[in-house]
Amino acid sequence: MITIGKTTFIGLMLILLNQAFCQDESIIISGKLEKAWETDKIFKVPESVCYDPENKILYISNINGNPSAKDGNGFISMMSLEGEVLDLEWVKGLDAPKGMGVQNGYLYVTDIDKLVKISISEGKILQKYPAVNAKFLNDIAIGKKDYVYVTDMQNTTIYRYKDGEFFVWMDDEILTSPNGLYIDDDFLFVGCKKIIKINTDDKSWEIIAGGTGGIDGLERLPDGNFVFSDWQGHVYLSDNEGTITEILDTTPAGINAADIEFIPEQSLLLIPTFFDNRIMAYKLTQ
């Protein structure tokens, strides 16, 4: 017979309770979400998910280390819409890749202080464009005339790329820790502790939702509402009146929600869990 002391017994009970609690790894607090699938923990600090509508596949940016370290460890994965990993290290040779965007057969990726252009057909890095004075490039949105917009989270800056030129497009104090981007026609929407709508023609802006806290991923739904994540593990909806509703909270399980992706035709919301090293997919009822 094995004798267990009182202190040891209490310690074991706490461990078992903690394990039981953490098995419920996603706490859905709204009937608007239904779990579709999740991957195994095979990624290496996944920061962003990007949908390629032409090829019907997903790209995952893997930091694989410190988000600010120029260590050459970063890579891009390729995955199916059903969560099957097609190529874990599809493109290597990056430092800490984050936001991504697809346009004209190219995948654009932010990498600390540069924008990386990748040939999708070749799975090959073509060019790296440095961003002058950039500190922490993050999200990407690609709009009309193939302009690529990029946020710098540690500045009040948005960069723009076109035809080999990468430069500061807007620098304004209203851009507080800018991160998530979404573009629709002539308007760029920026998540920066609020959601700002910027006219890309004259750079005039208006706040359409305040009090959001830090925004990581920002996507727009077919009904005009926004869905956004805050990295810590919360996902929210913001309606046309700026009313914010929380729909997912994974913080009790210590699971992050980084740069999300939304695929309208499937109503599929994709969440990279950062240090948890998975992609989680949910059906979103609108």
DSSP of 225-238, one letter per residue? -EEEE-BSSEEEEE
Q: Which element (helix H / strand E) includes 144?
A: none
Percent over 90 (pLDDT), the chain: 87
For residue 78, the SS3 value is strand
Of the candidates 60, 82, 70, the one whose C-alpha atom is nearest the C-alpha of residue 277 is 60
Burial class (CB in 10 A: 0-12, 13-18, 19+), 142: buried
pLDDT digits (tens, 9 = 90+) for 103-115: 999 999 999 999 9
For residue 12, the SS3 value is helix
d(CA 149, CA 249): 29
d(CA 37, CA 55): 21
Residue 26 confidence class, pLDDT cut points 50, 70, 90: low
Mean pLDDT to the nearest integer, 65-80: 97
Q: Is the pLDDT of residue 8 over 90?
A: no
User: What pTM did the predictor assign?
Assistant: 0.90
pLDDT digits (tens, 9 = 90+) for 238-276: 998 999 999 999 999 999 999 999 999 999 999 999 999
Residue 25 confidence class, pLDDT cut points 50, 70, 90: low
Residue 44 confidence class, pLDDT cut points 50, 70, 90: very high
Contact 60, 76 (CB under 8 A): yes
Selected from 3.30.70.2860, 3.30.420.40, 3.40.50.300, 2.120.10.30, the CATH number assigned to the domain covering 27-284 reads 2.120.10.30
- Enumerate the domain spans of the chain: 27-284
End-to-end CA distance of the chain: 58
The pLDDT score that the predictor gives to residue 130 is 98
Q: Which element (helix H / strand E) includes 39?
A: none
Mean pLDDT to the nearest integer, 20-24: 41
pLDDT digits (tens, 9 = 90+) for 192-242: 999 999 999 999 999 999 999 999 999 999 999 999 999 999 999 999 899
For residue 266, the SS3 value is helix
Q: Is the pLDDT of residue 20 over 70?
A: no
For residue 241, the SS3 value is coil
d(CA 57, CA 210): 34
Of the candidates 252, 258, 249, 251, the one whose C-alpha atom is nearest the C-alpha of residue 277 is 258
**Burial track 220-231 (b if 16+ CB lie within 10 A, e otherwise):** bbeeebbbbbbb
What's the chain's length in residues? 286
Phi, psi (degrees; rounded to nearest 5) at 270: -115, 130
Q: What is the mean pLDDT of the chain?
A: 91
The pLDDT score that the predictor gives to residue 275 is 97
**DSSP-assigned letters across all residues of 161-200:** EETTEEEEEEE-TT-SS---EEEETTEEEEESEEEEEEET
